[in-house]
Amino acid sequence: MCTGSFPWPVGKGTMAEQFRGHAWSETSLGSISQWPEKLKATVDIILHADTPRAVFWGTDFTFLYNDRWTDLLGDKHPSILGTSLEKTQPALWEKIKSELKATRETGAPRELKNLQLPVGREQDDDTALFNLRFTPVFSGTGTVAGIISKAALAPINQEFDQLYESSSFQDEKARLRLLAQVVQNSPHFIRVSDTEGNPLFINESALQLIGMDWQEAQKTPVHEFFVEEEREYVEQHVLKSVVENGSWSGELHFQHAKTGNKIPVLYSIFRIDDPQTGTPTHFATITRDLTKQKGTEHKLRKSEELYKSLFESMDEGFFLLDMLYDVSGRPVDFRFAEVNPAFSAHSGLDAGDVAGKRVKEVLPDIEDYWIEQYGEVARTGEPVRFTDYSQPLERIFDVNAFPIAPPSDHRVAVLFKDVTEQVKTKQKLQQHKNRLQTALEIDTVGVLFWGPRYTLTETNQAFLQMSGFGYEEAIGKSWKEFTPDEYYTKSEKAIAELNDTGSTDAYEKEYYRKDGSRWWGLFAPRRINEDEVVEYVVDITERKHREEREHFLLELNDTLRPLYNPDKILEEAMQLLGDYLDVNRVIYLNNKDEDQKFIIKSDYTSGVSSIAGEHLSDKFGTSMWNQLKSGNTYVANNIPDDPALSGKVKKNYNKIETAAKVGVPLVKNDKLVAILAVHQAEAREWTEQEMAIVEETAERTWAYVERSKAEQQLIELKNTLEDRVKKRTRALKSYQKKLQSLTTRLNKTEEHERQRLASELHDNLGQMLTLGKISLQNIQTEDLSGEASDEIATATGIVDEALNYTRELMTELKPPPGSEQEGIKDSLEWVANKMEKNEMEVMLSYDDEKMPLTDEVQTFVYQSVRELLFNVLKHAGVKKARVNVSRQEKNIRVSVEDEGTGFEIGANDPEPDANGGFGLFNIRERMDWIGGDFEIHSEPGTGTRAVIYAPLKKDQPDAAALQGNELTPPAEPEAPPVHSEKIDILLVDDHDMVRRGLRNLIEVQDELIIIAEAGNGREAVDLTRELQPDIVIMDVNMPVMNGIEATEILSEEYPEVQVIGLSLHDQKEVSHKMQRAGASAYLTKDEAFETLTGTIRNIFQADRS
């Protein structure tokens, strides 16, 4: 039985519709909603049965029946439904009442046999004999509440035989009369003829079937009863077969004489012989009209096809079972006779493996109650429907089991569905329903149910509390009765969207309360079905008031913030407050001369006169003053009716057109300094929100007024401070510029002095010491006494020491020759080598990229690195540092790192020290000056990393070109010069004295010829291009162009010209640079006078060979 929101009874049959639409309240059973569950269950049983079933309910045996019984009622259906047969069918009642009453009295089943009932709806349809079985239905108290009746056709032939053999018909004539009556009234075609075919007897049914009267039938040969296409067959085959064989039977077709209709018949003809002679005497024909049968057969085939189609395609599982019993008749098993394709999907069992097997073969652990349920259906013939769980299959099934054969066949049909998910869903729905019920009981969310015309059909307590209506007052109201007119458009738009899509976005609007006031709600409707909408609402009145308040205060802030005039601030504030509260007047009072006499500084009015400039005194009541002075807001809702106010005070208020007011005091430092008040010409109930807005406006207005005063003072102070700052900034910038200039000059002066001292040592002292050593060596070649020779040797040693010391000083003051031209790498390697002499290990690493620097930047960089390395040596407590050189966009980046003691950066900012040294400060100033940067990172115990950033050199033309001193290109000789065995020598040195000494040394050699002299590298290149000497004696340190650069040019243009480098420096890096430039040999000047001539010869000979 189906319950819930679906109309009962469930089903699509004619009687199910009749039950749902019948006027039961007019019957003895009453409204269908009040029927007992036992009656509903009994009705469900008969409606689902496929045989004629009826119910007789109650003491008056109210008659209820199913679709199959309607054929037994003739034209009495459907008027007979729900009536007592005693009143509506008295003839039938008389036949069955004794059995009905006996069943009710005894509580035992009864059976009534051979009851003649119609078998069709039309009046001329056949009747048939039926057996009726009456089964009692018990109430909960054990009494018989009703009776189920089941109708089944009675076996007519058996009953007729019994009747024919009864004693009433022992007389032969009586039997013949009986037979004649039976033949004449038989519904079948019966014809008897002689052997010539002449008819002797034709019954009435035969005449009606062929459409003739007796005379016409006598004259018509028998074969002409048939359709034309079968007549020849009847003459030649059928009649001949009867004569020869004695009988013939088969399906043929008569043709109705009047309508011409083709009538299917079962035509049976047989020969009657004389019992004495055995010769034929008559022919008898019995023909049955098959029209109905054919229709029935057609319907049956259609039904079978439909059954097969349903069987194959139905979604539900279906199987036929044959019950199996033990010796005591108890059901113990069943066999699957047939299963449909959907059986597997619902049961999880393979349909092919199940058919023909016993259920205990397939499911050995099947619960007994399944077998018992199906056994009961097979025993009683009553269908059952139930839902239960199968443990072996772990599924829940909805089962409809019903018999399809007599109980003796023990066959039951089972229609079933796997409803595991549906049951779980139902449980979830129930849980959801419970949660929904709980949700409906929440007092913060209103729930409204609207009917087809959007009238309220149901609501919860939360909505009633929001709106102030009682339940009965709210139910039945239209949405328009709750909604102010200005929200009709928004609501109608939401309704249209609901009708189109079933839902709409949440929206806000106001509703009326019962007292006419308004409240704000956030509404979210959803359509449940065609006739019902559910809507949820949350009271957002507080939020809307808060938003309105915040919007007003934001507008107040935005309006007052840019204002600096106190009077303008008051004017705008009162205008905004008056418009927002829709009051008649807003006033602002100041304390005049700190004497507690308040004057109305400014006011806003709407519909009343201005009172600006007036004093506020005790004429408006001492209670108001006392409240204001104590810092409390004064509120008056209805001044004319206020019993606490005197008539004089009321009169004074009436003069200024005020019936309600709110006054807010502004107390600062325990002193009343100002008052903001709002006035209304009529009585008014001030809300908490309105009073809070007045109080907040008063505070903010006061704050902005005081701010404007303070800002005016700040502006004056700012102007004064800005003048001072400008003056001091100019002085600071001037000082900073002078300091940077001083730092740069100091650096340049320091470098200049280094260069000057190094040049002095090289150009003067070094050269003179070299010449002195040459002179001493020349003297040693002469014949001298032993004592003089010793003195000269001692002097020579002293000169050597002086030369070595001079070289050391030169190296300390300035990198060796060529370092600046080679780039920062050589300069830093020079610095690293110098640090090694102080027992400090410096690890250098470089990028592969070229990093060109201007001379000034390169000097600053290597000086800064040297300064940082000396800091490591002096302060870090370690003798190891790492220097990394890399390129970073347009800068060179040099980092100096150690793993020493470190220090606090804040306590060691790069500033001049107490002794006047610049240190890190000097490095930073250097980098700032050249457009670089300097960073230092350190913490105690973690070491220090200092990073220098200096700008790379921009692409520039060759330096010589910038000076306008482009080298002269080599001349094109007419023919290569022819060398004799003489060796032509070009002597290059920037000191005349040194050149003279070298010339004197060389010219004493006959084969060595000095063909020219030069004072710098550029001249040496020009003379070589002109004269193409064999040997060039090249000094390294020279102005304009040094010897390394000149050697590079000559080795590229004239590889056959051999170059011998000379210098005061004895450092390996200088020698390596000359050799890389292309020099064949390198000599220090103090050793040149001993080995120069030999070196010249060796080089020349090596070149010739």
Q: What are 249-274's pLDDT values in tens digits?
A: 888 999 999 999 999 998 888 888 88
Shared domain for 512 and 556, answered yes or no, is no
Whole-number Å distance between alpha carbons of 950 and 931: 7
The percent of residues in the chain predicted with pLDDT above 90, rounded, is: 37
Q: What is the CATH number of the domain that holds 599?
A: 3.30.450.40
In a domain? residue 390:
yes
CA 493, 498, 504, 509 torsion-angle sign: positive
DSSP β-bridge partners for residue 880: 841
Whole-number Å distance between alpha carbons of 765 and 803: 9
In a domain? residue 724:
no
User: Token pair 């005081």 is at which residue?
Assistant: 706
Whole-number Å distance between alpha carbons of 10 and 1026: 128
CB atoms under 10 Å from CB of 138, counted, come to: 12
Q: Mean pLDDT throughout 162-186?
A: 57
Q: Enumerate residues 6+ apart whose C-beta is below 8 A from 919.
A: 867, 871, 910, 912, 913
H-helix segments, 155-213? 156-164, 172-185, 204-210
- 417, containing H or E segment: strand 411-418
Token couple for 169: 């018909």
Reported as a single tens digit per residue, the pLDDT across 601-643 is 878 999 999 998 887 766 787 888 888 888 999 999 999 999 9
Please tell me the predicted confidence (pLDDT) of residue 511.
95
Number of domains in the chain: 7
Shared domain for 407 and 449, answered yes or no, is no
Q: How far is CA 278 from CA 248, 273, 281, in A?
A: 19, 5, 9
Q: Mean pLDDT throughout 10-29?
A: 83
Shared domain for 926 and 837, answered yes or no, is yes
* SS3 of 883-940: EEEEEECCEEEEEEEECCCCCCCHHHCCCCCCCCCCHHHHHHHHHHHCCCEEEEEECC
CB atoms under 10 Å from CB of 951, counted, come to: 16
Residue 10, pLDDT > 70, answer: no
In a domain? residue 298:
no
Q: In which band, very low, low, confident or very high, does the pLDDT at 967 lie, cut at 50, 70 and 90? A: very low
Shared domain for 556 and 688, answered yes or no, is yes
Q: How far is CA 748 from CA 623, 756, 929, 930, 952, in A?
A: 87, 12, 12, 12, 19
Question: Given phi > 0 = left and psi -120 to 50 = alpha, else beta, which region is 823?
Answer: left
Token couple for 132: 């009726």
Residue 63, pLDDT > 50, answer: yes
Are 753 and 859 spatial neighbours (Cβ–Cβ below 8 Å)? no
Please tell me the predicted confidence (pLDDT) of residue 1.
42
In a domain? residue 121:
yes
Shared domain for 663 and 554, answered yes or no, is yes
Whole-number Å distance between alpha carbons of 801 and 849: 42
CB atoms under 10 Å from CB of 1104, counted, come to: 9
Q: Mean pLDDT throughout 886-910?
A: 81
Per the model's pLDDT, the better-predicted residue between 967 and 243 turns out to be: 243
Q: Mean pLDDT throughout 915-927?
A: 66
In a domain? residue 807:
no
Whole-number Å distance between alpha carbons of 322 and 412: 7
In a domain? residue 302:
no
Tell me how far apart the 2 most distant CA atoms of the chain are, in Å.
Answer: 204
Q: How far is CA 859 from CA 748, 823, 891, 1011, in A?
A: 10, 10, 15, 39
Question: Given phi > 0 = left and psi -120 to 50 = alpha, else beta, which region is 306?
Answer: alpha
Cβ-based burial of 28 (10 A; exposed 0-12, middle 13-18, buried ≥19): middle
Q: What is the CATH number of the domain that holds 919?
A: 3.30.565.10
Whole-number Å distance between alpha carbons of 271 and 887: 133
User: Which of 49-63, 99-113, 184-198, 1001-1015 comes out lowest in average pLDDT?
Assistant: 184-198
Are 145 and 57 spatial neighbours (Cβ–Cβ below 8 Å)? yes
Q: Letter for the amino acid at 827?
A: S
Q: In which band, very low, low, confident or very high, does the pLDDT at 969 lie, cut at 50, 70 and 90? A: very low
Domain span at 246: 166-290
Are 290 and 251 spatial neighbours (Cβ–Cβ below 8 Å)? yes
Reported as a single tens digit per residue, the pLDDT across 679-705 is 999 999 998 889 999 999 999 999 998
Whole-number Å distance between alpha carbons of 816 and 826: 9
Q: Enumerate residues 6+ apart whose C-beta is below 8 A from 175.
A: 164, 169
Whole-number Å distance between alpha carbons of 179 and 1005: 182
Q: What is the CA radius of gyration of the chain?
A: 66
Token couple for 1012: 């020219």
CB atoms under 10 Å from CB of 656, counted, come to: 17
Q: What is the CATH number of the domain that holds 1014?
A: 3.40.50.2300
Among 424, 452, 486, residue at a domain's last position: 424
Question: Which of 652, 703, 671, 676 has the alpha carbon at shortest distance from 595?
Answer: 671
Residue 968, pLDDT > 80, answer: no
Whole-number Å distance between alpha carbons of 452 and 667: 61
Q: What is the CATH number of the domain that holds 416?
A: 3.30.450.20
Q: Mean pLDDT throughout 86-110?
A: 90
According to the per-residue pLDDT averaged within each range, which of 268-282, 816-830, 973-987 is highest? 268-282
Distance from CA of residue 470 to its chain's centroid? 44
The percent of residues in the chain predicted with pLDDT above 70, rounded, is: 82
User: Which of 213-217, 263-267, 615-619, 923-927 comes out lowest in average pLDDT?
Assistant: 615-619
Please tell me the predicted confidence (pLDDT) of residue 916.
35
Shared domain for 24 and 151, answered yes or no, is yes
Q: Please give the torsion angle defined by the CA atoms of residues 647, 653, 658 and 661, in that order, rounded to the nearest 10 degrees.
A: -90
Reported as a single tens digit per residue, the pLDDT across 293-319 is 776 666 656 666 666 666 677 788 999
DSSP β-bridge partners for residue 53: 150
In a domain? residue 737:
no
Question: Which of 1025, 993, 1027 has the alpha carbon at shortest distance from 1010?
Answer: 1027
Whole-number Å distance between alpha carbons of 950 and 887: 10
Are 621 and 649 spatial neighbours (Cβ–Cβ below 8 Å)? yes
Question: Which of 402, 330, 333, 318 has the alpha carbon at shortest distance from 366?
Answer: 333
Shared domain for 523 and 564, answered yes or no, is no
Q: How far is CA 999 from CA 694, 777, 1036, 1038, 1089, in A?
A: 111, 16, 18, 18, 11
Residue 190, pLDDT > 80, answer: yes
Token couple for 520: 């704000």
The whole-model pTM stands at: 0.33
Token couple for 1048: 């590079």
Whole-number Å distance between alpha carbons of 869 and 843: 11
Backbone angles phi, psi at 885, to 5 degrees: -115, 125
Shared domain for 199 and 267, answered yes or no, is yes
Please tell me the predicted confidence (pLDDT) of residue 915.
37
Please tell me the predicted confidence (pLDDT) of residue 264.
92
DSSP β-bridge partners for residue 796: none
Among 155, 187, 206, residue at a domain's last position: 155
* SS3 of 815-827: CCCCHHHHCHHHH
Q: In which band, very low, low, confident or very high, does the pLDDT at 975 lie, cut at 50, 70 and 90? A: very low
In a domain? residue 762:
no
Note every long-range contact of 465-472, with CB atoms under 8 Å and residues 24 or more positions apart, other chains counting. 466/511, 466/519, 466/521, 466/537, 466/539, 467/511, 467/512, 467/513, 467/514, 467/519, 468/513, 468/514, 468/515, 469/513, 469/514
Q: Mean pLDDT throughout 38-63?
A: 88
State the first-to-last Cα distance of the chain, in angstroms, to the nearest integer. Answer: 129
Note every long-range contact of 230-239, with CB atoms under 8 Å and residues 24 or more positions apart, other chains counting. 238/267, 238/269, 239/269
User: What single-letter DSSP state applies at residue 681?
Assistant: S
Shared domain for 39 and 23, answered yes or no, is yes
Are 1059 and 1078 spatial neighbours (Cβ–Cβ below 8 Å)? yes
User: What single-letter DSSP state applies at residue 478?
Assistant: B
Reported as a single tens digit per residue, the pLDDT across 638-675 is 999 999 889 999 999 999 999 999 999 999 888 888 99
Q: In which band, very low, low, confident or very high, does the pLDDT at 761 lie, cut at 50, 70 and 90? A: low
Shared domain for 453 and 411, answered yes or no, is no
CA 632, 633, 637, 642 torsion-angle sign: positive
Shared domain for 1059 and 1004, answered yes or no, is yes
Cβ-based burial of 658 (10 A; exposed 0-12, middle 13-18, buried ≥19): buried
Among 125, 155, 185, residue at a domain's last position: 155
Are 32 and 16 spatial neighbours (Cβ–Cβ below 8 Å)? no
User: What single-letter DSSP state applies at residue 580?
Assistant: H
The rounded mean pLDDT for the chain is: 82
Q: How many residues does the chain have?
A: 1105
Please tell me the predicted confidence (pLDDT) of residue 907.
46
Q: Mean pLDDT throughout 146-156?
A: 77
Are 101 and 126 spatial neighbours (Cβ–Cβ below 8 Å)? no
Whole-number Å distance between alpha carbons of 48 and 382: 10
Whole-number Å distance between alpha carbons of 1105 and 1102: 5
Question: Which of 773, 655, 746, 748 has the alpha carbon at shortest distance from 1090?
Answer: 773
Per the model's pLDDT, the better-predicted residue between 680 and 292 turns out to be: 680
Shared domain for 974 and 1032, answered yes or no, is yes
Question: Given phi > 0 = left and psi -120 to 50 = alpha, else beta, which region is 808?
Answer: alpha
Q: 324 in helix, strand or coil?
A: strand
CA 1045, 1051, 1054, 1056 torsion-angle sign: positive
